Amino acid sequence: MSSIVIHDHTFKTKISSAEIQKAVADVAKQINKDLKGKKPLFLAVLNGSFMFAADLMKKINIECEISFVKVASYEGTQSTGSMKQLIGINEDIKGRTVVIVEDIVDTGNTIENIWNELNTMGVAELKVATLLFKPEAYTKTVPLDYVAIVIPNDFIVGYGLDYKGLGRNLEDIYVLDYENDKK
Ligand code: IMP
Ligand code: MG
């Protein structure tokens, strides 16, 4: 087990690169089987999903397309908190099989927003592929079709996921190490 410090916190290895690759391969295998002949459009949600999306795509062997979207948060006109809007969709997604590619589903707020917005655009079929899922934190009902790794409700970093901007480049996934934390 290795330990790293990012900003003010200590993290320890949780999921090795080899375990991640195995889980990604399993998801790819399932997608290859389920979506063969449907020419799916993968929509990877930046920034967090870039590494998962790249590794997943290398293992997809059916005809497909990939594009990248971003969720922009902005303050609503009312003082009701922040709204979320999907930006970057240039393809005509009407009638398509669309697979949302996410790094992690935590409370589910983000995926629910994306799901609802894409559903107003006339897609034929909408699927979700997420690298990580925290079932204990999930409060929504959007079906998560492809989950690579289920994790407890702990804060993690690496393989695309960041802690205050750092750690996305790490090959393994690390978890906050409460016992050895300086705080
Ligand atoms: P949700 O909307 O609560 O499902 O959270 C989704 C977003 O929160 C993800 O796309 C991540 O950007 C971020 N997030 C949730 N859990 C973690 C974590 O453990 N580490 C890093 N980012 C996280
Ligand atoms: Mg994300």
Within a domain: residue 95?
Answer: yes
Q: What is residue 57's three-state secondary structure?
A: helix
Q: How far apart are CA 106 and CA 15, in angstroms?
A: 17
Is 183 inside a domain boundary? no
- For tokens 């997809």, the residue is 60
The pLDDT value recorded for residue 182 is: 60
Mapped onto helix, strand or coil, the DSSP state of residue 95 is coil
Distance 174 CA to ligand 1 centre (A): 14
The rounded distance, in Å, linking the Cα atoms of 171 and 159 is 5
Full domain range(s) for residue 127: 17-151
Q: What is the pLDDT along the chain (183 residues), one digit of tens a residue?
A: 799 999 999 999 999 999 999 999 999 999 999 999 999 999 999 999 999 999 999 999 999 999 999 988 765 555 455 667 889 988 889 999 999 999 999 999 999 999 999 999 999 999 999 999 999 999 999 999 999 999 999 999 999 999 999 999 999 999 999 888 765
Catalytic residues: 106
Q: Residue 57 falls within a domain, yes or no?
A: yes
Residues with CB under 6 A from ligand 1: 48, 103-111, 155-157, 161
User: Which atom from ligand 1 is nearest to the alpha carbon of 155?
Assistant: 19
Which amino acid belongs to residue 26? D
Q: Give the Å distance between the CA of 75 and the centre of ligand 2.
A: 19
Interstrand relation of 41-46 and 146-150 (parallel, antiparallel or unpaired) = unpaired
Is residue 6 in some structural domain? no
Residue 76: predicted pLDDT: 52
Distance 70 CA to ligand 2 centre (A): 9
Q: How many independent structural domains does the chain possess?
A: 1
CB atoms within 10 A of CB 183: 6
Neighbours of 131 (CB within 10 A): 30
Domain annotation covers residue 159: no
Look at residue 39 and tell me if it is in a domain. yes
Phi/psi of residue 114, nearest 5 degrees:
-65, -45
For residue 108, being part of any structural domain is answered with: yes
The distance of Cα 100 from the centroid of its chain, to the nearest Å, equals 8
Q: What is the pLDDT of residue 129?
A: 98
Count the neighbouring beta carbons within 10 Å of the beta carbon of residue 45.
23
* C-alpha to C-alpha distance for 167 and 165, rounded to whole angstroms: 7
Residue 60: give its domain's CATH number. Answer: 3.40.50.2020
Residue 180: alpha-carbon gap to chain centroid: 28
- Tell me, yes or no, whether 167 lies in a domain: no
> What residue type is assigned to position 134 of the chain?
K
pLDDT score for 79:
45
What pTM was computed for the model?
0.95
Residue 96, amino acid: R
